[in-house]
Amino acid sequence: MGVRTRDVLCLTNHISSLPLEGCGSERPPDSQVCDTGPCDNAIEWFTGPWSQCSAECGVGKQERAVVCLMRSRDTVAVAPQYECSSLERPLSQQSCNVKACGAKWYYTEWSACSKTCERGFRVREVRCLSEDMQSSTSCEERLKPAEREDCNPEPCVSQIDQHCKDEYFNCNVVVQARLCVYDYYKKTCCASCSRHPHRHSVVHKGRS
């Protein structure tokens, strides 16, 4: 069961419109009850409630479920979307704006670390911007993100050269004699000389 309607006008010579009272009391009805038969296998779109706005301030997004339903006399079942293709599909997303954000802190990505080991530092740009992305002084200073931080605190580990080996068994004597400063011994006793770099240089004592 439903209702269908129509417009009812009072016209003179089918052209000029008059108040409805000008045509007398026998005004045709402008609505009537109608019946299109049982509602077996009737299709319609069903919408769930809107979700909360995705942003606490500024422009965000809301979503809701939109499904196609098929109704029969005693049951309701979810139908494939194409079954409702003849009907206008309700929106499943819409923009929302709970309140204006005002000014807030924005920051860039961190730069590369200044050192690969033994503690370096990295920096980033931090700026206070208004909602229209203009520079502002309205941000809370205590909430300002850090502009610099330490990085790579681990100690440096020298790379091991697979070709750097000792060719003689007595290379410890070469190190003790401080002969690693010479290319010949630096090559033939490579491993020992690399482990004791502080003994590479010859110490010159001043004359008294």
Q: How confident is the model over 2-30, as a mean pLDDT?
A: 78
pLDDT digits (tens, 9 = 90+) for 100-159: 888 989 999 999 999 888 899 999 999 999 888 899 999 999 999 999 999 999 887 666
Query: Which pLDDT belongs to residue 45?
Result: 94
Mean pLDDT to the nearest integer, 158-166: 75
What pLDDT shows up at residue 31? Answer: 94
The encoded tokens of residue 164 equal: 């750097």
Among the listed residues 28, 15, 70, the one whose alpha carbon sits nearest the alpha carbon of residue 46? 70
- Whole-angstrom Cα distance, residue 173 to residue 166? 12
Q: Which residue has the higher pLDDT, 46 or 36?
A: 46
Rounded alpha-carbon distances, angstroms, from residue 113 to 108, 121, 122, 144, 147: 15, 5, 5, 21, 13
CATH of 42-98 among 3.90.320, 2.60.40, 2.20.100, 2.40.50:
2.20.100
Query: HSE on the CB side for 119, CA within 13 Å?
Result: 2
List the domain boundaries for the chain.
Answer: 42-98, 104-151, 158-198
Residue 40 has pLDDT above 80, yes or no: no
CA 174 – CA 182 distance, rounded (Å): 10
Residue 41 is encoded by which pair of tokens?
């296998």
Looking at every residue in the chain, the average pLDDT score rounds to 85
The token duo for 101 is 């954000």
The Cα 50–Cα 79 span in angstroms is 21
Q: Which of 120, 108, 123, 125 is nearest to 150 (CA)?
A: 120
Q: How many Cα atoms are found within 13 Å in the side-chain-facing hemisphere of 159?
A: 3
Strand 93-97 with 59-63, pairing = antiparallel
Q: Is 174 helix (H, G, I), strand (E, B) or coil?
A: helix
Residue 203 has a pLDDT of 42
